[in-house]
Amino acid sequence: MPENKLKFLVDVGVGKKVEECLKENGYDVKTVRSIDPKAKDTEILKIAISESRMVITMDKDFGELVFKSGKSHAGVLILRMEDANGNEKAEIIRKILHEYEDKMKNRFCVFQDGRLRISR
């Protein structure tokens, strides 16, 4: 596996379709569900930092942690797709990584209304 390829920590609400999609595309994936389904967001960030993993989540609270509380992270991707099913989320992940993977490492990203915003 190339070293520059992103590694992921998938949060509980994201779903198995996204996990399967990432694994099928050769990504190193861990899930919050397999570590501790009740893990607090700060704990999820700590795990992600210690293993250099980007968190994929549906949880807007990560924005609060990173921007208001100044928490460190190794990259966060928030999917603002509350009504999407697993297949739709997996397809979006595929498209995002195809187009933007090289720009996402250690960045805070939000996908909403068909657009990806990438900030520091």
Mind listing the pLDDT tens digit for each residue in 67-113?
Answer: 889 999 999 999 999 899 999 999 999 999 999 999 999 999 999 99
Question: Per-residue confidence at 31, pLDDT binned at 50, 70, 90?
Answer: very high
**Phi-psi category of residue 70: left, alpha or beta, with phi > 0 → left and psi -120 to 50 → alpha:** left
Q: Which domains does the chain have, with CATH numbers?
A: 7-119 (3.40.50)
Q: Is the pLDDT of residue 2 over 70?
A: no
Which pLDDT score, from 0 to 100, does residue 3 have? Answer: 52
Cα–Cα distance for residue pair 38/32, rounded to 1 Å: 8
Which pLDDT score, from 0 to 100, does residue 67 have? Answer: 87
Q: Which of 89, 69, 76, 116 lies closest to 21, judged by CA?
A: 89
